[in-house]
């Protein structure tokens, strides 16, 4: 087969490795290099670095709206295009170019969590299960029929931990699909049900602000979901801190939300609209993440136990 791969971030790298195992990837598409770091130097995407290390040609069009960009893809004569977190919308005229169309690896159990941030939204919502779908792409946003899928339990994963587990699972599901196609078996497309559709909207740093009037379970989920980015933050005894790890306590209290209830080596308990949030790891401005015990060494005035 002649495979064209399109992807950009770290999540897509395991899938690129799976697709490239037999030397069938003839080109890789990724977003243009972007400024990054303190020096704002142009930096290649993780997918571009992986492709170059493998000696695979890399193309970086701004979009696929021009005839030139479509002709370049058509000249590659792809049998299949694999798209994983590419970051660009592909028009129908592009989806129609490969002989077998375009496959997408999506980090949710569709139709739940279509859109940009399915991993974090699943954790934020308290989902017990997540997974990966291999989808036949169509014009709509993650609306195409599902070819293969696998699920896993979310547990106490942070956004970063679940990201890594789903990236590995996505590569496995993609490898299964490619194995079938190489054997002359096209995976059977299963239309997504109309019930159960939810959208995983893009993460916003403003959403990371913890509202103590909300239930503690909701805030604990948000802390996990937004680690490592954009990282939850809140005010603790008048100081703004980033919260890296926290646990919800089913505590009955009459305190105003945001009130410090208890500060000990086990954690810093903050009153919420329902229950309390025990902060176990936090970070001051300009500092490093530390345990609650270490934080209290610098703020002994807060210690209550």
- Name the pTM for this structure: 0.95
Helix or strand holding residue 29 (H, E): strand 25-29
Model pLDDT, residue 234: 96
**In which element (H, E) is residue 182 found?**
helix 159-182
Burial 190-215 (b: 16+ CB within 10 A, else e): eebeeeeebebeebeeeebebebeee
Tokens of 67: 């005839």
pLDDT in tens, the chain (305 residues): 999 999 999 999 999 999 999 999 999 999 999 998 888 899 999 999 999 999 999 999 999 999 999 999 999 999 999 999 999 889 999 999 999 999 999 999 999 999 999 999 999 999 999 999 999 999 989 999 999 999 999 999 999 999 999 999 999 999 999 999 999 999 999 999 999 999 999 999 999 999 999 999 999 999 999 999 999 999 998 999 999 999 999 999 999 999 999 999 999 999 999 999 999 999 999 999 999 999 999 888 887 76
Residue 148: which of 199, 201, 185, 123 has the closest Cα? 185
Query: What residue ranges do the domains of the chain occupy?
Result: 3-200, 205-302
Structure tokens at 292: 């609650």
Which CATH number is 3-200 given?
Answer: 3.40.50.170
- The H or E element that residue 216 is part of is helix 216-225
Residue with tokens 């159990």: 109
Superfamily covering domain 205-302: Formyl transferase, C-terminal domain (3.10.25.10)
Same fold, 3-200 and 205-302: no
As annotated, the binding site includes 108-111
Cβ-count burial of 218 within 10 angstroms (0-12 exposed, 13-18 middle, 19+ buried)? Answer: buried
Residue numbers in the known binding site for (6S)-5,6,7,8-tetrahydrofolate are: 108-111
Q: Assess whether the previous peptide bond of 4 is cis (omega < 30° from 0).
A: no
């Amino acid at each position: 087969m002649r495979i064209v791969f399109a992807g950009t971030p770290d999540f897509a790298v395991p899938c690129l490795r799976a697709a490239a195992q037999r030397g069938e990837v003839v080109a890789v598409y990724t977003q243009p290099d972007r400024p990054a770091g303190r020096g704002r130097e142009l930096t290649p995407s993780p997918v571009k670095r992986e492709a170059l290390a493998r000696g695979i040609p890399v193309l970086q069009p701004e979009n696929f709206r021009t005839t030139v960009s479509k002709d370049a893809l058509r000249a590659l004569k792809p049998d299949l295009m694999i798209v994983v977190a590419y970051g660009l919308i592909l028009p129908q005229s592009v989806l129609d170019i490969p002989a077998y169309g375009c496959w997408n690896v999506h980090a949710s159990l569709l139709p739940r969590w279509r859109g940009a941030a399915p991993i974090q939204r699943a954790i934020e919502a308290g989902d017990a299960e997540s997974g990966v779908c291999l989808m036949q792409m169509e014009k709509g946003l993650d609306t195409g029929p599902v070819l293969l899928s696998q699920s896993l339990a979310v547990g106490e994963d942070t956004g970063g931990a679940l990201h890594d587990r789903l990236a590995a699972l996505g590569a496995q599901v993609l490898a299964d699909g490619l194995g079938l196609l190489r054997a002359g078996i096209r995976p059977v497309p299963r239309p997504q049900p109309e019930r159960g559709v939810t959208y995983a909207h893009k993460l916003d740093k403003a959403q990371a602000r913890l509202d103590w009037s909300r239930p503690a379970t909701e805030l604990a989920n948000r802390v996990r979901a937004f680690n490592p980015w954009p990282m939850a933050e809140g005010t603790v005894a008048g100081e703004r801190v980033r919260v890296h790890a926290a646990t919800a306590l089913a505590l009955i209290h009459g305190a105003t939300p945001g009130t410090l209830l208890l500060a000990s080596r086990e954690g810093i308990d903050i009153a919420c609209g329902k229950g309390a949030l025990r902060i176990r790891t936090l970070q001051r401005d300009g500092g490093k993440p530390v345990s609650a015990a270490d934080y209290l060494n610098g703020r002994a005035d807060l210690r209550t136990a």
